[in-house]
Amino acid sequence: MGTVNFKLLSAAVMFALLLAGCSETEEQLTEKPDPVHIESGDECHVCGMAITRFPGPKGEAITARDQQVHKFCSTRDMFSWALQPENAKRDHTLYVHDMAQTDWEHPDDTALIDAREAFFVVGSERTGAMGPTLASFASENSAVEFANEFGGEVVEFKDVTMEHLTQDMSHKEIGMNNHEGEH
């Protein structure tokens, strides 16, 4: 009976150690990587434009599996990438600028926040690289204040769709075309 109890105890200890090791690995995998500074020579992962040459909030994605960093010249391009079917279901770490904490013309990377916790203003009159972009904010109040001043609709990360991106672009293009003959 003593040998059986010893084997059961040994098996239980080994199982507990395995579980402890697994939980440490899970914690390490779920630990969010820090944002990466956007350098002056960095190019947008979607369009290839020089990121720091344009106003408005930028974005970056750090892939879950290999920790590869993708940088974007605008939140619009970041969402264009993140909403693609091959990326949408993956748990990438995404960062955007909190525009309540930084200048629109030259966003400061110390104001990068978790995009999944941010609030976005879609359809405002403020533009970023290549035109319309989604203004990003850490607080809903800041997003609402921005929308009251510059127009647009406040949405949470989980509610942003490809339609927001294309609708915003068509709205701006239609608006620009309507004003062409007025000059």
Q: Which residues contact residue 36 at a Cβ distance below 8 angstroms, ignoring those fewer than 6 apart?
A: 60, 62, 69, 71
Residue 4 pLDDT: 53
Q: Delimit the domains of the chain by residue range.
A: 1-31, 51-180
136 vs 98: CA distance, rounded Å: 6
> What percent of the chain is predicted at pLDDT more than 90?
67
Residues 4-14 pLDDT 10s: 555 555 555 45
23 vs 180: CA distance, rounded Å: 61
Q: To the nearest whole number, what is the mean pLDDT of the chain?
A: 83
pTM above 0.85, yes or no: no
